Chain A
Amino acid sequence: MHISDGILSAPVLIAGFIGTAAVAAYTLRQLDLDDIPKVSVITSVFFVASLIHIPIGPSSVHLILGGLVGVVLGIRAFPAIMLGIILQTILFGHGGVTVIGVNTMMLGGGGLMAYAVWQLRHHFNINKKEMIFGGLAGAMGIFSAGIVLALSLVTTGEEFIATAWYTLIAHIPVMIIEALVVGSCAAFLARVKPDALAGQLPLVTPIPAPATTTTTEATKASNEDSPK
């Protein structure tokens, strides 16, 4: 899901580039030396996985997995999605050079929102919480991307309001499919390789000296840690 060249007005395009540059500069600064090859290799998996088509009745949709990038890479999802979008522009001509900024804000922002939803799982103690919150994160990735897409269309001109509504409605089935796939993928990773997920609590917590360490503090601490 991305917007093509030649639709949006100059202010929207420029706003997209400025926003992307700001968030990318912040998130790229968080990367360590060993993150560079790792994030790149994992990005190429997402790039390849987004070529998978899932049938819906007679037609089919391709996976976007913006939410899953957030679930796996945490805050590093933003540069990862930016890479994916630049590559898609260069290799397929989907989207376009002038809309790289807007598209990255749309999907990369979705990835960050998905990560925020995914982190909420620490506040709940229920069965299958990885599946439930993974699913919510997957849906959130598409939902917030859809909202940004609609906003960028509407701010370009009022003649696009109807188009914005159509695209929002068209994304409801995509949202459901993404939720199901990302949910089961998160559950799979939690079973098979839990340290592949972003923002996991350390399995063996060091014994806190005074009993003041609450769950929320532990969550905050683990947010800052990058997973192995």
Chain B
Amino acid sequence: MPLDIDRFAKRASALQRWDPRVKLFTLGIFVFSVALLKTLPIACVAFCLAVGILRLSNLPYDFVASSVKWVIFFLLPFFFIMPLSYPGEAAFYVIGLPFAWEGLQLATLIFIKAVAIILTTFSMFGTARFDVSMIALQHLKCPKILVQMLLFTYRYTFVFLEEMRRMQIAMRARGFVMKTDMKTMQTMGNFVGTLLVRSFERSERVYKAMLSKGYQGELHTMVKFSSERRDYIKSILILSTSVMILALDFSGLFLPAKQSWF
């Protein structure tokens, strides 16, 4: 799994040139409208749109696939659980369990929507440097303290990932093999504890270093945003499509895949 999602932020494309503030806002609205869809044909349309936006972003295929494959893996159980547990009439029986087509339809809907949203997340955050995205979030009225903490956490994740790898190599060099037993649990507890103690000491040093550079709860940045007409045109195009798919979804032209309490 790649941790540096902004690895390909420097590629030239319509999405990378888009003002991050407008981009995050627009695609955020798109994501929420996809999450509310309830009919299968419209979800397929939304999926195609998400793929289209991602194609525009010019991100390499295997970079996206390496994360998406895990999400697909987590969603697969739904294809077994939902059809076999759906309340209502059963089409036929599989080893004594009722199989309902509605359940399969619902599982497909969930799957398509989830993958569409994850692809859009890549278009949102993979096309600008991480810190630029975060500062754009701050411009969108995201709390300042939250943005700062996200930036710090992101930055130190790489430090501790490296530290953890080093400690794991040291453990393996001493002949430690993970098993399902009490000894492994205890060792892993101590392992996490050691990481924590080191992080406590490091966080003290980080704070002192920041104080000595004049930290007073504000982050100053040299990132400047500017939005032109074409930024807004892209935004209006996607926003109107989002409204359109939601309207089509609610219009009753298509049969919803589930009858929930919503």
Contacts of A183 in B (CB 8 A): 189
Among B12-20, B68-76, B220-228, B236-244, the stretch in contact with A: B68-76
Q: Complex formed: what's the CA distance from A172 to B206 in Å?
A: 39
Using an 8 Å CB-CB cutoff, how does the interface string of A155-191 with B read, 1 for contact, 0 for none?
Answer: 1111101110010000000000100111111111100
Q: Complex formed: what's the CA distance from A209 to B145 in Å?
A: 41
Instruction: Give the Cβ gap from B137 to chain A, nearest Cβ, in Å.
Output: 10
Q: Complex formed: what's the CA distance from A96 to B34 in Å?
A: 12
Known: A79-B149, A180-B186, A185-B190. A9 touches B262 (CB 8 A): yes
Q: Which of A31, A54, A188 contacts B145 (CB 8 A)?
A: A31
Instruction: Give the Cβ gap from A228 to chain B, nearest Cβ, in Å.
Output: 9
List B35-58 residues whose CB lies under 8 Å from chain A.
Answer: 35-36
B261 touches A9 (CB 8 A): yes
Q: Which of B70, B146, B179, B185 contacts A184 (CB 8 A)?
A: B185
Q: Complex formed: what's the CA distance from A94 to B143 in Å?
A: 23
Using an 8 Å CB-CB cutoff, how does the interface string of B179-194 with A read, 1 for contact, 0 for none?
Answer: 1101011101111111
Contacts of B202 in A (CB 8 A): 41
Q: Which of B113, B133, B200 contacts A196 (CB 8 A)?
A: B200
Contacts of A157 in B (CB 8 A): 258-262
Known: A192-B193, A192-B197. A83 touches B149 (CB 8 A): yes
List B143-177 residues whose CB lies under 8 Å from chain A.
Answer: 143, 145-146, 148-157, 159-161, 164
Using an 8 Å CB-CB cutoff, how does the interface string of B73-85 with A read, 1 for contact, 0 for none?
Answer: 0110110011011
Q: Which of B32, B121, B130, B194 contacts A89 (CB 8 A)?
A: B121
Contacts of A57 in B (CB 8 A): 180
Q: Complex formed: what's the CA distance from A155 to B197 in Å?
A: 41
A40 touches B3 (CB 8 A): no
Known: A9-B262, A41-B156, A45-B160. A87 touches B195 (CB 8 A): no
Contacts of A5 in B (CB 8 A): 31, 34-35, 113-114, 117-118
Known: A44-B160, A185-B193. A6 touches B35 (CB 8 A): yes
Which range contains the number of B residues in contact with the other chain?
35 or more
Q: Complex formed: what's the CA distance from A37 to B114 in Å?
A: 33
Instruction: Closest B residue to A31 by CB, please name it.
Output: B145
Given contacts A37-B206, A44-B153, A57-B180, 4 further A-B contacts (CB under 8 A): A6-B111, A40-B148, A48-B161, A97-B32
Binding site for B on A (CB under 8 A): 4-7, 9-11, 13, 24, 28, 31, 33-34, 36-45, 47-49, 51-52, 54-57, 63, 65, 68, 72, 79, 82-84, 86-87, 89-94, 96-98, 155-159, 161-163, 166, 177, 180-189, 192-193, 196
Q: List 24 A–B pairs whose Cβ atoms lie within 8 Å, in order of A's numbering.
A: A6-B113, A9-B260, A28-B146, A34-B207, A37-B206, A37-B210, A40-B152, A42-B200, A42-B203, A45-B195, A63-B192, A86-B150, A87-B153, A87-B154, A90-B130, A93-B68, A93-B122, A96-B121, A97-B28, A98-B35, A156-B261, A161-B87, A163-B85, A189-B197
List of 8 A-B pairs having minimum Cβ-Cβ separation, nearest first: A184-B189, A6-B113, A162-B85, A157-B260, A40-B152, A188-B193, A180-B185, A41-B203
